[in-house]
Structure 1
Amino acid sequence: MMKHPVQIGFSQRVRLEWYESTANLVLAGNDEVSIYHILDEMLKETLSVVGNARRGTREKVITILMKIWVRPPRHLEDMKREGLQFLQRLSRRDRITVHWGMTMAVYPFWGTVATYVGRLLRLQGTATAGQVQRRVREQFGERSTVTRATQRVLRSFIDWGVLQETSERGSYAAGSVLDVTQRDVIAWLVEAALHAHQVRAAPLGTVLESTSLFPFRFSYLPPMRLVAESDRLDLLRYDLNQELITSRSNAPSVARSGGI
């Protein structure tokens, strides 16, 4: 498959409560224009100081929130609708799984940063900002925009409670780990991971053990049971002992360096 670079897109620190507010506005039936103006008013106090730069930051944050829960790419519309249904039934603590999955599907850069953070946590128990920055720059290039975007994603992870700062400056440890037991939510997150890593198919174990999902721990689910939970996933058996979970999405399929 042809390699294609992932665009950054997600370049701001975005709090979890802003996600909640945006999704609630959608669930309440507000139209796109109304949601934009409500978010703009809501964020004025937090992201508004004298000067164009901060006003630009507010607009960028709203753009991110709108792209995730209001107008995602067309191939993610069904995922959005199902994700909103999950938000209505899940507890506030469990809803992080849905916001995380939708973010990494819409903005693969989020999943890329998570992948490197998760790998470092798995290998050594901590991850430093410098280590993550170096790995992300190796993939995306030595650009100031890459450095800033990576730092803001890391700060978002801290805000969300999935990372916590240690006594050493710039060093992070794992935060809360959430057990995910609902079969339909697990299937939905598998689909999100396939989109985030921009692959059409992967072994189920590989997806569920992906470090891009480091804040979550999954109950075991046989592949056949998993695909039964989603109209958008299929099971492909490519030899006697190997099965792949595949996505039926019409999204462009591209290769990623570093694997899933």
Structure 2
Amino acid sequence: MKISIGFNRHLEPDWLAQTASWVANGIEEQALKDRIDSMLESVFTSKVAKDKTRNLLFGIWNKLPKHIPGRFQSRGANLLMEYSEQHLVFHWGMMLAKYPFFSFVVAQIGKLTKLNDTFIYSQLEDRVTEQYGDTSTIKRSMQFVVRTLMNLEVLKNPKQGVYELNKAMSIVQPEIKGWLIEAIMLSNQSSSRSLSSINDDSVWFPFTLYFDASDVQSNRELEAHLQSSDTIVFL
């Protein structure tokens, strides 16, 4: 069975922010694609590269896979407009929810940097190719993810082959954290998950945050039930 990767270009924060802003203002489908095309026109000389970048931006902020409800997407865009200084968190949530390859790569970075804020690129490549296959397409897609993380100032590259985490962003607003809980559950396509496992997930490495039951209650799409010593979140 063919594995869908989808993350086939690097992205810039300004492109992501502008695309999200258009979605928040009700610009969707072909009208959104046309605006993205115009935004990228002066950036690319290659039509193929421009089209792939447009499709990825559209995929993150407008295209709805079967498991993603439109409410999740619209809330993400609206929250970004309200908390624009924390734009990274909303792009992150959308990419987690919609692109399993992105989610897998950043989870591996989180695991590699759990005890140390640096990782060696070859270690990441070994983990990704073991899961997805040792092909040039997979390796290029991984490079696009890592470069996007650098553009978003999540990572820095102090020397060849070595990457280091930038300072983590603190997230405290319950409505943002509730939306992120929904994002990770959509990413896993899970209908229930323990709150402790959500807190322990390695995809959160760019942020300083802790999820509790009140964050679940801030999101109407989620329910929390206490079972034994843990809280189970239902989507």
- Which residue matches 2:87? 95
1:235 is displaced (CA, Å) by 2.1
Once structures 1 and 2 are overlaid, which stretch shifts more, 228-237 or 188-197? 228-237
Equivalent-residue separation in structure 2 for 1:138 and 1:126 (angstroms): 21
Match for residue 24 of structure 2 among 24, 27, 30: 27
- Which residue matches 1:234? 223
1:5 is displaced (CA, Å) by 8.8
C-alpha RMSD of matched pairs (Å):
1.9
* Cα-to-partner distance string for 1:135-158 (whole Å, 9 max, x where unaligned): 011111112111110011000000
- Which residue matches 1:64? 56
Match for residue 137 of structure 1 among 101, 122, 129: 129
Equivalent-residue separation in structure 2 for 1:13 and 1:130 (angstroms): 19
Equivalent-residue separation in structure 1 for 2:225 and 2:88 (angstroms): 30
Amino acid aligned to 1:235: A
Does residue 1:202 correspond to 2:193, yes or no?
A: yes
Amino acid aligned to 2:150: I
Distance 1:5 1:176, change over 3 A: farther
Any gaps of 5 or more consecutive residues in structure 1? 49-53, 248-260
Preserved contact between residue 23 and residue 74 of structure 2 (Cα < 8 Å): no
How does the TM-score come out when normalised to structure 1? 0.83
Secondary structure of the corresponding residue to residue 165 of structure 1: strand
How does the TM-score come out when normalised to structure 2? 0.92
Amino acid aligned to 2:71: D
Preserved contact between residue 181 and residue 216 of structure 2 (Cα < 8 Å): no
Does residue 1:9 correspond to 2:1, yes or no?
A: no
Preserved contact between residue 66 and residue 72 of structure 1 (Cα < 8 Å): no
Equivalent-residue separation in structure 2 for 1:34 and 1:40 (angstroms): 10
- Which residue matches 1:245? 233
Output aligned runs, 1:43-62, within 5 Å.
43-48=40-45, 54-62=46-54
Equivalent-residue separation in structure 1 for 2:220 and 2:156 (angstroms): 37
- Which residue matches 1:252? none
Any gaps of 5 or more consecutive residues in structure 2? none
Output aligned runs, 1:68-83, within 5 Å.
68-74=60-66, 75-83=68-76
1:23 is displaced (CA, Å) by 1.3
Displacement over 4 Å in runs of 4+ = none
Does residue 1:160 correspond to 2:157, yes or no?
A: no
Match for residue 182 of structure 1 among 173, 176, 198: 173
1:173 is displaced (CA, Å) by 0.5
1:6 is displaced (CA, Å) by 6.2
1:72 is displaced (CA, Å) by 2.1
How many pairs were matched up?
234
